[in-house]
Amino acid sequence: MRRYTLIGLMLIVSALLVVTSPVSADETKWLAVGMLRDWFSSAGCEVEVGRTHEVADQLDGLQWPALFQDQDIKAYKALWIGCKNYNDPIVNKTYEYKVVHCGPRSESLLEESEWMPNYFKLFALEAHPDVVVDGTPAAVLDNWDEIDIIDTEIPSDRLLVTTVNTAIGVTETRKSYAYSQQHHDNYIIHEYTFKNTGIIDINGRKVEQTLNDVMFFYMFRWAVSKEGSVYGLNFLPQSQCWGKNTVNDTMWVADTNGAEKYLGLFAWQGLHSEAGYDNIGGADKRESGDGHLTAAQYVGVVVLHADKSAQDKSNDKSQPSTTKYMDPDIPITHNNSQFNADLMRDEYAAMTAGHPLLTHAEEVEKAKMAADLYATSKMAGGGFMSTAGFGPYTLAPGDSIRIVMAEGVNGLNRKLCYEIGRKWKKEETPYVLPTGATTADKNEFKNQWVYTGRDSLSKMMQRAIANFKNGYKVPMPPPAPSSFTVAGGGDRIKLSWANNAESAPGFAGYKIFRAIHTPDTTFDELFACGAGTANPTIVNSYDDLTAVRGFDYYYYIVSFDDGSTNNGTTNPGGPLHSGIFYAKSNNPTNLKRMPGSTLDEIRIVPNPFNIRAVDLQYGYSAPDRIAFLNIPGVCTIKIYTERGDLVKTIEHTNYTGDEYWNSITSSQQVVVSGLYIAVFETPEGERAIRKFVVIR
């Protein structure tokens, strides 16, 4: 891993504008240090199913809150560059309208001849910590953080730099800034620079030409969210997966001083005609569901800056010049070609369509007034997407335009999603609204809480504005411990960590959080030490004596400060803590039992196993778990039906006294009700037989 200073980084980026050695096509990287996690393409924008090319990943990216599974909201983010009266040297022809494409569909991304990646590197302020669980590397960021260069002078935790040459002679440079600090970890700032370098092909051929009426056109196709859709829990209508019921809107967001306003484009989940119930927030309505809200997020972008011209770098408040919402399935969104004159004419018309008289949300509200509650999902076959078109600009050779946007997600926290959804499903009154008033209508109760997400998103955008005005710099918390070790023992789980954070300005202490059975759940504070805690003495180890045998545990540790580093210019005051994904375990640990001394000690728990008593057994996060306890350190466990059919063979080889089974047979079927026989056999030929009952 290479190391550079920020000055070195600036020299690298400057050189990239003339370097033409392409990077590997189809390369992707993640920004994953914050609660917002997203993938990025070396092409400079993210086309539909562009990461895996699998339809099942149509909703892929913009995951928030990233602590939980299937929080994806993005179907794609496309980018077109167009101009008028372009003399195309590739085919020796003048086009009245010329457009080059990065998406929206994957078939429209030609990385060898139209939108050609040139540089793709991830910079980190510091490397992610070493996390080890029971002797095995287990850092969450091991799976996401492909750092190329450590640079201790970059202003953010992560900086992804991408450059792309295009067949129209414009080179795109995108710098994406991501943060782990708790007030800024749900958005990413993208700074785009578009320069007329004249490079038109993968070999670096340069043609000098002034580009007239240049437009930069972004398409944001959002769908909130994957969790409840066919790709997740599969109870929301399939068409929800591609955003058929997505409501798109705009709003003006004031900076912290109230002096300036910035345009935001955003979306949320609206009503769906095929849902069969009020699906605002995507409550889990399944008979077996707990009611929790799977789609309470609000997603959007806020425009932070757009040059007035190549000569005037001040912010143009009239940009973007186009914000018309668009049907993502019309002809111009498929099979785009830089040589199809008719299609490019229609594309350029969409890029310069201006602003609608009514936003999509206003059109939906208008339809509701006409008693069509489900207008959102009826207005277009695949819903609508938000667009932002910047221009027109004139770019002489060497001229450039800079555009900056922040993209993020906010809304109800996960705890409230469960609490409100449970009350909605079980009809637990009183229904207390966010204002403190009450209602007898459970849907009004649910929806009013979901709608608070708009204000949350606005606050997120406001913090991004302040961050941008501050030069992408936010107050930084102490670093996370550079190492974190978790080890399961016989009567405790031992945690230990490095002391590197203790020399940071304002350092005050550590906090440890724990989840049970799965990392995809709420973590609770387990231990804290330092200023303001019940344990004021700083320590670098802790024994979790509250762990219970048979349960899996996940941990993360953060360091926190005394609040003195928080200047309040970009976020609320108070202590700051290191990002939760830095020193977080990705593998479970549990209490380890010594092997049983005799076969007579073997027990099966629970016995009988009753699925209806899940809360009295291993809990909802491991509802099918059956434990074999006090077994030999090495043995074979064979499970038979009452009539002697072998349903599962387990090789126990970890020299402990415990083994766990998820009630799944060798043919991947859940075992049915009945009497089962477990045969335990050691390598020495000793054998024991136990019977257990399953009730489903």
pLDDT in tens, 246-274: 999 999 999 878 889 999 999 999 988 88
CB atoms within 10 A of CB 417: 27
Residue 37 is which amino acid?
Answer: R
Cis peptide before 606 (omega within 30 of 0): yes
Residue 317 is which amino acid?
Answer: K
Close Cβ partners of 179 (under 8 Å, ≥ 6 residues apart)? 33, 34, 156, 157, 185, 467, 474
In a domain, 523, yes or no: yes
What is the C-alpha to C-alpha distance for residues 584 and 142, in angstroms, rounded to an integer? 10
Nearest to 669 by CA among 635, 643, 636, 694: 694
Per DSSP, 447 falls in state H
- Contact between 71 and 227 under an 8 Å Cβ cutoff? The reply is yes
In a domain, 221, yes or no: yes
As given in the structure block, the two tokens for residue 150 are 């450590």
As given in the structure block, the two tokens for residue 68 are 């939980």
- Domain count across the chain: 3
Asked if residue 616 and residue 567 are part of one domain, the reply reads no
What is the C-alpha to C-alpha distance for residues 136 and 686, in angstroms, rounded to an integer? 32
As given in the structure block, the two tokens for residue 558 are 């953060």
Close Cβ partners of 226 (under 8 Å, ≥ 6 residues apart)? 59, 70, 71, 72, 73, 232, 241
pLDDT at position 619: 62
Asked if residue 582 and residue 613 are part of one domain, the reply reads no
In a domain, 502, yes or no: yes
As given in the structure block, the two tokens for residue 140 are 């969450």
DSSP assignment of 174-192 equals EEEEE--STTSTTEEEEEE
Question: φ and ψ at 442, to 5 degrees?
Answer: -70, -30
As given in the structure block, the two tokens for residue 406 are 């922040």
Per-block average pLDDT, block size 10, for the chain (696 residues)? Answer: 54 49 79 97 96 90 95 96 97 97 92 96 95 91 93 97 98 98 97 98 96 98 92 82 88 88 96 88 92 96 98 97 95 96 98 96 84 73 92 98 98 96 96 97 98 97 96 94 91 93 96 91 94 97 92 96 79 89 94 87 93 72 86 94 96 85 92 96 96 94
As given in the structure block, the two tokens for residue 39 are 């993938």
Asked if residue 607 and residue 519 are part of one domain, the reply reads no
Asked if residue 604 and residue 547 are part of one domain, the reply reads no
Nearest to 211 by CA among 482, 395, 26, 479: 395
Asked if residue 489 and residue 381 are part of one domain, the reply reads no
Asked if residue 460 and residue 319 are part of one domain, the reply reads yes
Residue 570 is which amino acid?
Answer: T
CA 299 to chain centre: 11
Domain boundary among 543, 573, 592: 592
- Contact between 642 and 674 under an 8 Å Cβ cutoff? The reply is yes
Owner of token pair 């403190």: 436
In a domain, 418, yes or no: no
Residue 449's alpha-carbon distances to 187, 245, 273, 690, in angstroms, are: 22, 19, 22, 52
In a domain, 424, yes or no: no
Axis crossing angle, helix 442-451 with helix 453-469, rounded to the nearest 10: 0
∠ CA 108-111-117, nearest 5°, is 130
pLDDT at position 258: 80
Domain extent at residue 344: 2-412+452-467
Close Cβ partners of 672 (under 8 Å, ≥ 6 residues apart)? 694, 696
As given in the structure block, the two tokens for residue 352 are 């310069």
Radius of gyration of the chain (CA): 28
What is the C-alpha to C-alpha distance for residues 320 and 386, in angstroms, rounded to an integer? 12
Collapsing DSSP to helix, strand or coil, 509 comes out as: strand
In a domain, 106, yes or no: yes
In a domain, 417, yes or no: no
Asked if residue 509 and residue 457 are part of one domain, the reply reads no
pLDDT at position 10: 58
Asked if residue 194 and residue 121 are part of one domain, the reply reads yes
What is the C-alpha to C-alpha distance for residues 358 and 672, in angstroms, rounded to an integer? 57
Domain boundary among 571, 592, 613: 592
Buried b (16+ CB within 10 A) or exposed e, 290-311: ebbbbbbbbbbbbbbbbbeebe
Asked if residue 689 and residue 607 are part of one domain, the reply reads yes
Q: Alpha helices, DSSP H only, in 270-379?
A: 341-351, 360-369, 375-378
- Contact between 442 and 427 under an 8 Å Cβ cutoff? The reply is yes
Residue 414's alpha-carbon distances to 15, 71, 288, 535, 665, in angstroms, are: 45, 11, 19, 29, 34
pLDDT at position 24: 64
pLDDT at position 495: 97
Dihedral angle, C-alpha 459, 463, 469, 472, nearest 10 °: -150
Asked if residue 617 and residue 564 are part of one domain, the reply reads no
As given in the structure block, the two tokens for residue 644 are 């002697």
Domain boundary among 561, 592, 623: 592
Asked if residue 543 and residue 631 are part of one domain, the reply reads no
Q: Give the domain CATH number at 537.
A: 2.60.40.10
Collapsing DSSP to helix, strand or coil, 221 comes out as: strand
Per DSSP, 359 falls in state -
As given in the structure block, the two tokens for residue 546 are 């509250």
pLDDT at position 565: 78
In a domain, 359, yes or no: yes
What is the C-alpha to C-alpha distance for residues 642 and 644, in angstroms, rounded to an integer? 5
What is the C-alpha to C-alpha distance for residues 10 and 503, in angstroms, rounded to an integer? 29
As given in the structure block, the two tokens for residue 185 are 């970890």
Q: pTM, whole model, 2 decimals?
A: 0.87
pLDDT at position 325: 95
Asked if residue 639 and residue 585 are part of one domain, the reply reads no
